[in-house]
Structure 1
Amino acid sequence: MPKAYVFTRNGGPEVEALVEQDAPVPTPGELLVAVRAAGVNPVDWKLRTGYTGPGSQPQPFPTVLGSETAGVVQALGPDVEGFAVGDEVFGTPVTGGYAEYTLLPVAVTAHKPAGLSFTDAAALPVAAATAYDGVRRLAPAPGSTLLVTGAGGGVGNALVQLADHAGVRVFGAASAAKKDFVESLGAVHVESGAGLADRVRVVAPGGIDAIFDLAGGDTLREVAPLLADPAALISAAGEPLPVELGGAAVARARTAAVLDEVADLVVTGVLRTHVTRTYPLTGAGEALRAVESGHARGKLVIEVGA
Structure 2
Amino acid sequence: MPKAYVFTRYGGPETEAFVDVDRPSPGPGQLLVAVHAAGVNPVDWKQRTGYRRPGESDERAFPVVFGNEVSGVVEEIGDGVEGFAVGDVVFGIALAGGYTEYTLVPAAVAAHKPAELSHPVAATLPVAASTAYDGVRQLDLPSGATLLVTGAGGGVGAAAVQIARAFGLRVVGVASEGKKDFVESLGADHVASGPGWAERARASAPDAVYDLVGGQVLAEAAELLTDRTKLITAGAPEEDVRRLGGARVARARNAAVLEEVARLVLKGDLDPHITETFPLDRAGDALRTVEEGHARGKTVIGVTR
Match of 2:44 in 1: 44
Partner letter of residue 59 of structure 2? Answer: P
Q: 1:129/1:103 Cα in 2 relative to 1: closer, same or farther (>3 Å)? A: same
Match of 2:294 in 1: 295
CA positional deviation for 1:28: 0.6
Q: Distance in 2 between matches of 1:111 and 1:58?
A: 31
Q: Distance in 2 between matches of 1:264 and 1:141?
A: 21
Secondary structure class of the residue paired with 2:199:
helix
Overall identity of the aligned pairs, in %? 63
Deviation by residue 1:27-86 (Cα, 9 ceiling, x = unmatched): 111111100000000110111001123154532100000000100000111221111111
Q: Distance in 2 between matches of 1:189 and 1:295?
A: 18
> Please, which runs of 5 or more residues in structure 2 have no aligned partner?
none
Q: 1:55/1:112 Cα in 2 relative to 1: closer, same or farther (>3 Å)? A: farther
Q: Distance in 2 between matches of 1:254 and 1:112?
A: 16
Partner letter of residue 210 of structure 2? Answer: F
Alignment of 1:38-117 (within 5 A): 38-56=38-56, 57-117=58-118
Matched, 1:10 2:13: no
Q: Distance in 2 between matches of 1:52 and 1:198?
A: 33
Secondary structure class of the residue paired with 2:108:
helix
Partner letter of residue 32 of structure 2? Answer: L
Matched, 1:280 2:276: no
Q: Matched residue pairs, number?
A: 303
CA positional deviation for 1:208: 1.2
Alignment of 1:115-264 (within 5 A): 115-202=116-203, 204=204, 207-239=205-237, 240-264=239-263
> Please, which runs of 5 or more residues in structure 1 have no aligned partner?
none
Deviation by residue 1:166-201 (Cα, 9 ceiling, x = unmatched): 221110000011000000000000001111111102
Q: Distance in 2 between matches of 1:149 and 1:184?
A: 16
1:34–1:305 contact (8 Å) kept in structure 2: no
Give runs of ≥4 in structure 1 deviating > 3 Å.
55-58
Secondary structure class of the residue paired with 1:227:
coil
Secondary structure class of the residue paired with 1:102:
strand
Match of 2:25 in 1: 25
2:166–2:269 contact (8 Å) kept in structure 1: yes
CA positional deviation for 1:140: 1.5
The Cα RMSD (Å) is: 1.0
Q: What is the TM-score when the length of structure 2 is the normalising length?
A: 0.97
Q: Distance in 2 between matches of 1:222 and 1:295?
A: 23
Partner letter of residue 302 of structure 1? Answer: I
Partner letter of residue 257 of structure 2? Answer: V
CA positional deviation for 1:19: 1.1
Q: What is the TM-score when the length of structure 1 is the normalising length?
A: 0.97
